[in-house]
Amino acid sequence: SKQCAQRYAMIGDLLSNGEHDIVLLQEVWSEKDFLGLKKKLAFSHPHSHYFKSGVIGSGLAIFCKHRIHDTFLYRYSLNGYPYMAHHGDWFGGKAVGMAIIQIGNLTANVYVTHLHAEYCREKDSYLPHRVVQAWELQQFIRHTSAGADAVILGGDLNMHPQDLGTRLLRSYTGLRDAYLETSQFDGCEDGMTLIADNPFINKKELVPFEKGIRIDYILFKGSQKAEVHCDFMYTTKGSVPEKPFPYSDHEALTADLRLKPLIAQGTTHDNNDSSKVAELVDILTEARTEVKVGLHCAERMRYTATRTGIMGLALLILELAIAAVPWLALGAEQPFPRTSFYLLAALCCTILITTFLLYLFYTMELKSLQGAEDQMRLAVGGLQERLRGVSVDHTPLRKPPEGEEPSAFDTEK
């Protein structure tokens, strides 16, 4: 990264003023940089955690004024392709990190994440992976935040507000967008977090959005024990006063969240709103379609890898057969130079090893996509049952005693 050391120093200076209770960072790829920030913020944010994952790390970090009682990291099952080294997402081990924080008498589950980048809007080959990541993210949040009084998610989702993954995440979890909920906002136009005027970005990546895009979010929700409101939100606006360059290629988001404890009344929210359930069914159906597109693509790539491997194996067998001629026909000379023989053998072995590894990778990708599609199918079935208002008897069937015929009223009959 350009001017990396100087920018970390600027970020440290910004955070050390103690304005923020909780700080969520992404793309802190070097643990050395995290330790540098930790040392600089030791007084203003004494509690911190760095989430380690993948080859070079998840890049996720959290700094907090309040004590962090527990942390957990979930790594997404799909995260790009290892042979797309110039993109680098696969090596980063994209994940979601969770921290349980006690704020007064309230327990807050704070999540930080970074999803796979888009790179090309028109030909987004990573869309199925990002949809599965959004699905796993909402599952992780729902299943781990049941006992939380407040839930906060911050990070680079690499998705526009109306993208499928964003709608899936917000609809399923009930998380609210701080930009849409805030009473006051001060920042870039339309809340954009990746703007064209930033010197650290490639403007071609913003096509067809000339001014910029909004792909970074602070999402939140309350519970029966606490209400959460966003009173004020602002973003940085590119350049930093008296500095030659901005903090990052993305704009920083700051939200002022107000937590209001409630008196427990023992009532539950109505989760059977037919319009919301119908919207969820539509979103999940759309998500299943995208996952199936990814399935077909992975199956095609695995078939290509298999076919290429078979061709390499056939070529290797043919070469070995030719090499065996001098042994079978005594006195015969080698039909081609030894150097060429070794080079061709090395090429065949390289093809076999590469295609075998690709076959394994695409098989794992297929299973992850199939698993996500199966989960979505079950979820759609459950939602459709709620829409119809059908109560299904899940009592397991019982076999009659041996020698006794099932009666006319037997469930099995």
103-155 pLDDT, tens per residue?
A: 999 999 999 999 999 988 888 899 999 999 999 999 999 999 999 999 999 99
- At 205 the three-state DSSP class reads helix
pLDDT tier for residue 401 given thresholds of 50, 70 and 90: low
Rounded Cα gap, residues 230 and 321, in angstroms: 74
Which pLDDT does position 412 carry in this prediction? Answer: 45
Residue-wise pLDDT for 246-291, tens only, equals 999 999 999 999 999 988 665 555 555 788 899 999 999 999 999 9
pLDDT of the residue at 205: 79
What is the model's pLDDT at position 380?
93
CB 256 within 8 A of CB 233: yes
**HSE toward the beta carbon, residue 154, CA cutoff 13 A:** 22
At a CB cut-off of 8 Å and minimum separation 6, what does 52 contact? Answer: 31, 58, 73
- Residue 66 designated active-site: no
User: What is the CB neighbour count within 10 angstroms for residue 263?
Assistant: 6
Q: In terms of DSSP bridges, do strands 106-114 and 150-156 run parallel, antiparallel, or are they unpaired? A: parallel
- Residue 411 scores a pLDDT above 50: no
pLDDT at 376 over 70: yes
Structural contact between residues 48 and 61, judged by C-beta atoms closer than 8 angstroms:
yes
Angle between helix 164-173 and 274-323 (nearest 10): 130
pLDDT band at 97 (very low <50, low <70, confident <90, very high): very high
Helices (H) and strands (E) counted in the chain, each on its own, are: 9, 14
pLDDT band at 8 (very low <50, low <70, confident <90, very high): very high
pLDDT at 378 over 50: yes
Q: Measured between alpha carbons, how far is 119 from 89 in angstroms, rounded to an integer?
A: 11
Residue 67's alpha-carbon distances to 109, 256, 268, in angstroms, are 12, 19, 30
- Tell me what percent of the residues of the chain surpass a pLDDT of 70: 89
8-22, 192-206, 245-259, 333-347: range with lowest mean pLDDT: 333-347
- Return phi, psi of residue 251, to 5°: -80, 145
Q: How big is the CA angle at 130 (ends 197 and 70), to the nearest 5 degrees?
A: 95
Mean pLDDT score, 340-369: 91
Mean pLDDT of all residues belonging to the chain? 88
**Of the given ranges (47-56, 215-224, 397-406), which has the lowest mean pLDDT?**
397-406
CA distance 161 to 387: 27
Mean pLDDT of 156-166: 96
Name the catalytic one among 114, 160, 250, 269. 250
Q: Cβ(369)–Cβ(298) under 8 Å?
A: yes
Q: Which domains does the chain possess?
A: 3-264 (3.60.10.10), 275-392 (1.10.287)
Q: 215-240 as b/e, with b when 16 or more CB fall inside 10 Å? A: bbbbbbbbbebbebebeebbbbebee
